[in-house]
Amino acid sequence: MLKIGCHLSCSKGYLAMGREAVKIGANTFQFFTRNPRGGRAKELDLADIGEYLAFAKEHEIGQILAHAPYTLNACAKDDSLRHFAYETMCDDLSRLAHVPGCMYNFHPGSHVKQGAMTGISYIADMLNRIGEQGFSTTILLETMAGKGSEVGRNFEELRAIIDKVEDTGRLGVCLDTCHVFDGGYDIAGDLEGVLNEFDAVIGLERLKAVHVNDSKNPLGSRKDRHEKIGEGQIGLDAFAKIVTHPSLRRLPFYLETPNDLPGYQKEIELLRAMVSQQTR
Ligand code: FE
Ligand code: FE
Ligand code: ZN
């Protein structure tokens, strides 16, 4: 069965997110660990997590995804900002230790004129320091669109980070369909070629999750503006191939399209229908 869900608000806790997911036909979901623009996390509520875990088991919700605030910059020029990114991630990961099966996704960062190589070193440094803390959660680097000075705009940059990390046992990649398309990878016209390239550069065994978003902008635009599934430049046919591809179909898919809950419900139904059509 296709594992699919969408981004949900974390403000009411885990059980509330689980219930919301089930209501819209999802069997997984993504959420921000705190306000996406940073700030303090909610008090850790172990009773809520316990109730959520029982609910998740009952409703077969698998492998959810926590998303770090996107304002964190592990490769900022200012070392207090880099330290803040490290501290925030450590705090997130110590909380997530209570939520087995939850992965943690983050945007590698923006090198802001320091150059990609410097950015890559800082990001790997942070991951190595996090690694020393012995957290149990799998951490995912997200593929980026390449706007501004984003690191992770191509597979090679993610590979370079991974190569500098000492213990990569719990390190993976989350492929964002809008980002890679905006980054110049033609998943609409040549999905097979893009996945072959991913495999050659990073290795498909590192791919742990997919963000399913259409893009408002054309291939290679480096914009990062998400669009509803089938209403953007990637298009419905491409998504049918993506959710049924043998290398992808077992992964969890997370929608981050501009939608409310009924809109997400429709997209989940649409993508599920693509899978059942193919297997019929
Ligand atoms: Fe993201
Ligand atoms: Fe994303
Ligand atoms: Zn995005």
Q: How high is the pLDDT of residue 35?
A: 81
- Summarised one tens digit per residue, pLDDT across range 217-233 is 999 999 999 999 999 99
Over residues 238-267, the mean pLDDT reads: 98
Q: What is the DSSP letter of 99?
A: S
Burial class from Cβ neighbours inside 10 Å (0-12, 13-18, 19+) for residue 35 reads middle
Q: How far apart are CA 79 and CA 3, in angstroms?
A: 39
254: helix, strand or coil: strand
How does pLDDT run across 255-272, given as a tens digit for each residue?
999 999 999 999 999 999
71 CA from centroid of ligand 3 (Å): 13
* Residue 91 annotated as catalytic: no
Mean pLDDT of 104-127: 98
Near ion ligand 3, which residues have CB within 5 Å? Answer: 224
User: Which ligand has the minimum distance to the alpha carbon of residue 107?
Assistant: 1
CA distances from 101 to 5, 47, 64, 97, 192 (A): 15, 17, 7, 9, 29
176 included as an active-site residue: yes
CB under 5 Å of ion ligand 1: residues: 142
Best CA proximity match to 208, nearest among 136, 123, 143, 130: 143
pLDDT bin (cut points 50, 70, 90) of residue 236 is very high
Q: Is the pTM of this model over 0.85?
A: yes
Distance 279 CA to ligand 2 centre (A): 28
| List 226, 254, 264, 267, catalytic entry | 226
Pair type for strands 4-8 and 253-255: parallel
Q: pLDDT (tens digit, 9 = 90+) per residue, 138-166?
A: 999 999 999 999 999 999 999 999 999 99
State residue 104's pLDDT score.
98
Structure tokens at 124: 């790997």
For residue 280, what pLDDT is reported? 65
Packing angle, helices 14-23 and 46-58, rounded to 10: 30
